[in-house]
Amino acid sequence: MPETPSNTASRVALIGFGTVGRAVARILCESGDPSLRLTHICNRNVEKKKQSWVPADVLWTDEVQSVLNSNVDIVIELIGGLNPAEQIVRDALQAGKSVVTANKQLIARHGPDLLQLAASRGCQLEFGASVAGGVPVLPALRTGLSGDRLHGIAGILNGTCNYILSRIESARIPFSEALEEAQARGYAEADASEDLDGGDARAKLAILALAGLHARVVPESVRARTIRTVDAVDFDYAAELGCTIRQISRADLKGDTLFADVGPCVVPTDSPFGRVHRNLNLVVTSGQYGGDMAFLGAGAGGDPTAVAVVSDVKFVAQRVGAGPSGGPSEIGSTKKDLGSKVATPTISSDFETPWYLRFFVRDRPGIVARLAQILASHHLNIDSLLQKPGFDKASLPFVITLEPCRDAQLHPALEEMSTLDFSIRPCLCLPILRQS
Ligand SMILES: NC(=O)c1ccc[n+]([C@@H]2O[C@H](COP(=O)([O-])OP(=O)(O)OC[C@H]3O[C@@H](n4cnc5c(N)ncnc54)[C@H](OP(=O)(O)O)[C@@H]3O)[C@@H](O)[C@H]2O)c1
């Protein structure tokens, strides 16, 4: 039997009763936590949403304004997107209510401003579920890792891409078939462009960079490479190198420059990234004192994401209960003066790494010599040449790996190679990440 909430319980309103909202409401209703009291559930067309398991004293409404005008302490925003979520969150903070959200678009674009608004109004903004769903990496950055000075964050942040790539790896099926399978199983949307082309992951990377590296990053300033060009044969060649392929989002802070990139990378099969299968997420942080830390788990799904949301609500409620000295949220409070704490670094994708170049050519003598000549003319060193037997000579895939060089050094060579008449597909160029 749940305990009766005391009068001092934090009053909690939920806006958005969809996949995550419903799971949050269920946890709140079943937890019996006397410090929290769910008072409102708000959704458009709310009559269709009503559930018999929600206690009778919870008010169902489709009027957001009435929620914001009420005496709730904490607003949970779970409608997603920017409009009207941004305005709702701003209005709630302006009214002195703390906000918990899972909205990555909102935080990636407006996180610094909203944190500043929260700090100025003496309330809190928490968004632990906005990156990696149920994996508590943002709370770890807020508390357990705040004593370190982080200089790098890398992760598998998009479960859709990881599902597709690990299915191509395990079944050697074409990309299109793996995508269809992901859609049929509910792991990919009908239009999965945001996932496949890196838009989703770079928004999450921007949030991680804000929370862990104190860097303000406009998501669009981070280069995003698609996974659509990865072929089943690339997993054969990657295996020859003891590697596999994953969509990796990475950010390395060096002085005033943040090196950042999202896209498919060749990673060792026995590395933490290589061992992540299906739709799981992994985040690895690199700190000056503590070294590398890894966080693995369910990056999406109603229940895991709801756990992250409710954990944030409890964190906020403890601080609300602690009174004024509880103060605003850690990220917010450490940035009461955000301008002085959050830097705006130059964003660059010019990483120095070894490279994997895969060609599809119409075979004829002299192709390798021509490619080697172009690479040499750009001072690029070949590390290995891989060509598996048995392919059709009219569409022959082979791979050249390069010793480490900067992206900017490689780019002109790729441009030159793209004009060669024997090439029947654009060269697939992937960074090889040996470290993780
Ligand atoms: N699902 C996940 O696994 C997951 C993981 C991590 C983070 N998130 C984030 O969590 C948030 C919620 O995701 P979700 O999967 O729960 O989405 P969802 O299932 O689409 O739920 C959104 C809910 O908000 C309602 N809504 C939309 N616009 C509204 C408006 N203008 N006024 C009132 N209600 C409105 C929708 O009502 P209708 O039913 O009428 O459309 C729906 O009930 C998003 O920010 C998402 O990015 C989700």
User: What are 424-427's contacts with CB under 8 Å, separation 24+?
Assistant: 424/360, 424/361, 424/362, 424/395, 425/359, 425/360, 426/229, 427/357, 427/358, 427/359
Question: Please, is 359 exposed, middle or buried when counting C-beta atoms within 10 Å of its C-beta (0-12, 13-18, 19+)?
Answer: buried
Q: Ligand 1 centre and the CA of 79: distance in Å?
A: 4
Q: Ligand 1 centre and the CA of 222: distance in Å?
A: 26
Q: Is the minimum distance from the CB of 17 to ligand 1 under 6 angstroms?
A: yes
pLDDT 10s digits, 43-71:
999 999 999 999 999 999 999 999 999 99
Indicate the pairing of strand 223-224 with strand 423-431. Answer: unpaired
pLDDT 10s digits, 176-209:
999 999 999 999 999 999 999 999 999 999 999 9
Q: Ligand 1 centre and the CA of 125: distance in Å?
A: 18
pLDDT 10s digits, 262-288:
999 999 999 999 999 999 999 999 999
Mutate to test the pocket of ligand 1, among 14, 15, 17, 20 (most ligand atoms within 8 A of CB): 20
Extended strands (E) in 280-412: 280-287, 291-298, 346-348, 352-361, 382-386, 396-406
Predicted pLDDT of residue 320: 75
| 2 token code pair | 């749940």
CB neighbours of 238 closer than 8 A, spacing ≥ 6? 244, 245, 266, 356
DSSP 15: E
Ligand 1 atom 40: the closest Cα is on which residue? Answer: 44
Q: Is the separation of the CB atoms in 36 and 55 below 8 Å? A: no
> 243: which strand partners?
268
Predicted pLDDT of residue 341: 78
Q: Is the minimum distance from the CB of 188 to ligand 1 under 6 angstroms?
A: no
Spatial distance between the Cα atoms of 202 and 158, rounded to a whole number of angstroms: 10
- By annotation, the residues acting in catalysis are 204
Predicted pLDDT of residue 327: 52
Mutate to test the pocket of ligand 1, among 65, 89, 305 (most ligand atoms within 8 A of CB): 305
| 162 token code pair | 């990881």
Q: Is the minimum distance from the CB of 19 to ligand 1 under 6 angstroms?
A: yes
Ligand 1 atom 44: the closest Cα is on which residue? Answer: 80
Q: Ligand 1 centre and the CA of 271: distance in Å?
A: 35
The closest of 133, 151, 120 to 307, measured between CA atoms, is 133
Q: Is the separation of the CB atoms in 350 and 259 below 8 Å? A: yes
Q: Is the minimum distance from the CB of 119 to ligand 1 under 6 angstroms?
A: no
Kindly calculate the radius of gyration of the chain based on its CA atoms and give it in whole angstroms: 24
Give me the average pLDDT of each 10-residue run along the chain (436 residues). 63 98 97 94 97 97 97 97 98 98 97 96 97 94 93 98 97 97 95 97 97 96 98 98 98 97 98 95 97 95 96 93 54 41 94 98 96 97 96 96 97 96 96 83
Spatial distance between the Cα atoms of 290 and 292, rounded to a whole number of angstroms: 7
Mutate to test the pocket of ligand 1, among 78, 88, 107, 303 (most ligand atoms within 8 A of CB): 78
- Write out the DSSP string of 114-174: HHHHHHHTT--EE-GGGTTTTSTHHHHHHTTTTTS-EEEEEEE--HHHHHHHHHHHHH---
**How far is residue 332 CA from its own chain's centroid?**
21
Q: Is the minimum distance from the CB of 80 to ligand 1 under 6 angstroms?
A: yes
- Write out the DSSP string of 410-424: HHHHHHHHTT-TTEE
